[in-house]
Amino acid sequence: MGLSVNIGSFKRAQERLTHSQNALKRNLLNELRKMAHTMEKYSRAMSPRETGSLERSIFSRVVNSKNETHVNLYVSENTMREGVNNKGKFVRRVPVGRYADYMHDGQYRLGRLSRQKQLQSYALGARVKVGTGFIERAGNVVWKRYRNDLKDAGIRAGFGRGRWN
């Protein structure tokens, strides 16, 4: 029931790469790892806050298979949701999965802690909107920033001039 979004797939022909291209491929994978970490930070900043369990359950990874490489940004459904909510009541220990799905896709009003988080991010100059669609919005924001750099590095690494949208 957890959320998972694959962002930025890259097709490639690995058997034709030379040693220098393999070095460029490693550099490209390192750039993708940096991008994945940035996506994780943005999605944590954009997620609503009640107990903090949702923020702690957001992860990213770079999946590198033979035919493609992509960034997987996801919410771990098995992380336990626990703590005290904004009304001071203890939240029982339940998996984050269904809660994360509702907070990502549902319609709701932000609570006090989420509104404070929004104000703090604006005060720090981050300009991120806390609320629904936080995984996809974080992926899209970071993807737009990194897209051209990754495209150039990918072409240099021999990944072809395919579709980079």
For the stretch 126-157, pLDDT in tens is 778 888 889 999 988 888 888 887 777 777 66
* 4 pLDDT higher than 80: no
Q: What are the structural domain ranges in the chain?
A: 4-156
What pTM did the predictor assign?
Answer: 0.75
pLDDT, tens digit (0-9, with 9 covering 90-100), for 31-64 = 889 889 999 999 999 998 877 888 889 999 988 8
Give yes or no for a contact between 39 and 102, defined as CB atoms under 8 angstroms apart. no
pLDDT of the residue at 40: 92
